A and B are shown apart, each in its own frame.
Chain A
Amino acid sequence: MTTNLAAEINGVLAALILLSSFGLLVQRRMTGLLHIFAWQGFFLSLSTAVVGYTAGLHHLYISAVLTLTLKVFALPYILYVLIHKLKIHREVEEVVNIPTTMLIGIALVIFSYHLTAPIRELSTLVTRSTLAVALATVLLGLLMMITRKKAVTQIIGFLALENGLFFAATSATYGMPLVVELGVALDILIAAFIFGIFFFQIRTTFDSLDLKQLEKLKEEDF
């Protein structure tokens, strides 16, 4: 595979990751969200493997496999089991003002390109142009967490944000050192268990997973 071809494949994958981020932003169905999230993880893992192949870096294969197991199988599966146990898999979330959200999302992408411009000039890697997409994925995940009001969708937004971070690591630097990647993966796995416990705690205390009810702790007005 020539470097040019690899860069092009990587560009396509980056576009797909960005597309799935927008998909997450507007998808209303729980199971639909899980599917898009799993696809995003798949593109991420594929892109890591492609970069690993062209750069001849074997430790990237390990992180590709890690992403594949964690982001494509383990986490969607855990979430799938959770939403079935909580009987919310058929739920449709009301997403207000999709056009505005999309416009803000596009503005965030442009902002990311602007912010990473000086770094693109410095980098010599084939993947350098995708760093903006990585930052955009992070910011879109953040936007999703702000606009959504259900515990499960907020968590998916959070995980999409982590996807963006992983993508940033492969596109800016050909991946972080292995010890760091393993540690981060472990942290995400622990976080997965914690939010699982949380869903049940919120459900038993509030009778629903709607976060609108979690607005009691505020500064009182005089």
Chain B
Amino acid sequence: MSLLMLLGVSLVSALALAFVGDRKRAAEINILGSAATFAASVFLAVRVYQHGPIVAGNNFFFVDALNVYLAVVTAFVSMTTAVFSRRYMRHERENGRVGRAGMRFYHAMFQLFIFAMLLALLTNNVGVLWISMELATLSTVLLVSLYRTPSAVEAAWKYFILCGVGIAQALFGTVLLYFAAERVFGEGSAGLLWTNLSQSVGSLEPTVLTLAFVFFMVGYGTKVGLVPLHNWLPDAHSEGPTPISAVLSGLLLNVALYALLRCKVLVDGATGSHRAGHIMMAFGLVSILVSAFSLLRQKDIKRMFAYSSIEHMGIATFAFGLGGPVATFGGLLHMLVHSLTKSSIFFTAGHASQMHDTQEMSGIRGLIRGNPLAGWGLMLGCIAIAGMPPFGVFTSEFLILTALIKNAPLLTPVFLLGIGVAFAALFGKVMPMAFGPAPENQRRLKLSHFPVIAHMALVLVIGLYLPGFLSAWFHMAVELLK
């Protein structure tokens, strides 16, 4: 019941918002819809926590500790983003960057995007997982080009083509997976159900699954933004409206990584080796290094944090590839804290660029003087994302590092080099923006600080002390990923 509500609310809100359009209450409906989705997700999570995994809807849905935790994160961040976007988009509307049709489109597609991600997380069918990942891309493509500037259109086209082609490879992987499964389960949907596949993973043909994983890696890896498949990501994140950058970076990448994880479990189970894990480690490590050095040369604030997202997705992918309970625990925690921190940073980056009418970092100065909350939000967000204690990213990176030193000590310097360079790059760029005197042309705006404060507080709490239920939850998820 709560499952239907979780998916239904966002779909109904999308339809309602398409109908309401650019009227006065659209933003409030958007917030209300997301809040209801969040409430439903918490309700569902409590049930899973108490009674274990749920299979529902004639085997169509499957909810376990792994996906319900991501569903809660998705619903929570989309709720706070809806709160943030109320003032932000109103401001963009007043500035004339978005028109009436744009606002209608924005609100409806925002909810459809949330629906697509939740469906991807909760479905039991690997084919439907692919369909909803594609739907998530399609619903955000035209949001990236919302401002209709030449660079926005270019970014959206790139996003559409690269992700479309990428995810087509994942469909080929799904065909191969079904080919292997059909020999065990016979004709029909049964061969694509995760619950069936994971139980009899040993009887799936290893050669076919290894080949399938290559296609999954390229396909879903494109959506995760792993180097060298990452080209669409910095463009889409920097040219789209800031709330969309926040959900793309904080949520979509997580969902894509989730899809990849599910495939990895199957392939490693079938081959009885650690080959899929090794491929993921390689992609992760290359992503960390390339994005860390790319961070050094950025001039656009949102583009810089987009590269930082590639780095953190690389860290999480690396951790899951490394395997073992500690690294997997660290990876799951990292997905959570990255999602919270990065969306909060995008909120403050959006504030900063609206105050200065530019996304160029050289034009953003004296943020703390101009608006202390926005300035400190950016500064603390940067401290958190760079992996400094006492924030949650430190905890997760520390766990991953511990596992790394134990299992693959030779890779430790490479990993640390990436993190170190990223740290230096981020600080070098953010300090001048936060401190110093405010420039003359800085504007005073009414900003919504609640989402930033909420996210940063959560990341701080997770960094200082991991609540018992959360760690128990992660332990359940770690069991599933073994």
User: In the complex, which residues of chain B have a beta carbon less than 8 angstroms from the beta carbon of A177?
Assistant: 125, 127, 178, 188-189, 191-192
Q: A161-B165, A202-B157 are in contact. Are A194 and B142 (CB under 8 A)?
A: yes
A217 at the interface (CB under 8 A from B): yes
A216 at the interface (CB under 8 A from B): yes
A222 → chain B, closest Cβ, in Å? 7
User: In the complex, which residues of chain B have a beta carbon less than 8 angstroms from the beta carbon of A75?
Assistant: none
Q: A173-B182, A183-B127, A183-B131 are in contact. Are A138 and B168 (CB under 8 A)?
A: yes
Q: For residue B212, which residue of chain A has the nearest CB? A: A119
Q: Which of B16-65 contact A (CB under 8 A)?
A: none
| CB-contact partner of A194 in B125, B138, B169, B178, under 8 A | B138
CA distance A180 to B182 in the complex (A): 15
B106 at the interface (CB under 8 A from A): no
Whether A180 lies near B131 (C-beta < 8 A) is yes
Q: A162-B168, A174-B187 are in contact. Are A190 and B138 (CB under 8 A)?
A: yes
A122 at the interface (CB under 8 A from B): yes
Whether A219 lies near B175 (C-beta < 8 A) is no
A44 at the interface (CB under 8 A from B): no
User: In the complex, which residues of chain B have a beta carbon less than 8 angstroms from the beta carbon of A169?
Assistant: 175, 178
Whether A145 lies near B189 (C-beta < 8 A) is no
B325 at the interface (CB under 8 A from A): no
B430 at the interface (CB under 8 A from A): no
CA distance A191 to B188 in the complex (A): 27
CA distance A204 to B149 in the complex (A): 10
B466 at the interface (CB under 8 A from A): no
Chain B: number of interface residues, binned into ranges: 35 or more
Chain A: number of interface residues, binned into ranges: 35 or more
CA distance A151 to B131 in the complex (A): 24
User: In the complex, which residues of chain A have a beta carbon less than 8 angstroms from the beta carbon of B239?
Assistant: 217
Grouping DSSP codes into helix (H, G, I), strand (E, B) and loop, the A interface class, with mixed when no group exceeds half, is: helix
CA distance A219 to B238 in the complex (A): 13
Q: Which of B418-445 contact A (CB under 8 A)?
A: none
Q: A176-B178, A198-B160, A222-B297 are in contact. Are A187 and B134 (CB under 8 A)?
A: yes
Whether A138 lies near B150 (C-beta < 8 A) is no
Whether B172 lies near A138 (C-beta < 8 A) is yes
B184 at the interface (CB under 8 A from A): no
B464 at the interface (CB under 8 A from A): no
A102 at the interface (CB under 8 A from B): no
Q: Which of A21-62 contact B (CB under 8 A)?
A: 57
A168 at the interface (CB under 8 A from B): yes
A184 at the interface (CB under 8 A from B): yes
| CB-contact partner of A217 in B135, B148, B158, B172, under 8 A | B158
| CB-contact partner of A57 in B127, B141, B187, under 8 A | B187
Q: A158-B164, A177-B188, A179-B189 are in contact. Are A217 and B154 (CB under 8 A)?
A: yes
Partner-contacting stretch, out of B203-211, B251-259, B340-348: B203-211
User: In the complex, which residues of chain B have a beta carbon less than 8 angstroms from the beta carbon of A2?
Assistant: none
User: In the complex, which residues of chain B have a beta carbon less than 8 angstroms from the beta carbon of A214?
Assistant: 153-154, 157-158
Whether B172 lies near A135 (C-beta < 8 A) is yes
A3 at the interface (CB under 8 A from B): no
Q: For residue A214, which residue of chain B has the nearest CB? A: B154
CA distance A211 to B149 in the complex (A): 15
Whether B211 lies near A119 (C-beta < 8 A) is yes
| CB-contact partner of B165 in A119, A158, A205, under 8 A | A158
A172 at the interface (CB under 8 A from B): yes
Whether B153 lies near A173 (C-beta < 8 A) is no
B291 → chain A, closest Cβ, in Å? 12
The 5 A-B residue pairs whose C-beta atoms are closest, nearest first, are A180-B127, A183-B131, A177-B189, A214-B154, A172-B179
Residues of A within 8 A of B (CB): 57, 115, 118-119, 122-123, 135, 138, 142, 145, 151, 154, 158, 161-162, 165, 168-169, 172-174, 176-177, 179-180, 183-184, 186-187, 190-191, 194-195, 197-198, 201-202, 204-206, 211, 214-217, 219-220, 222
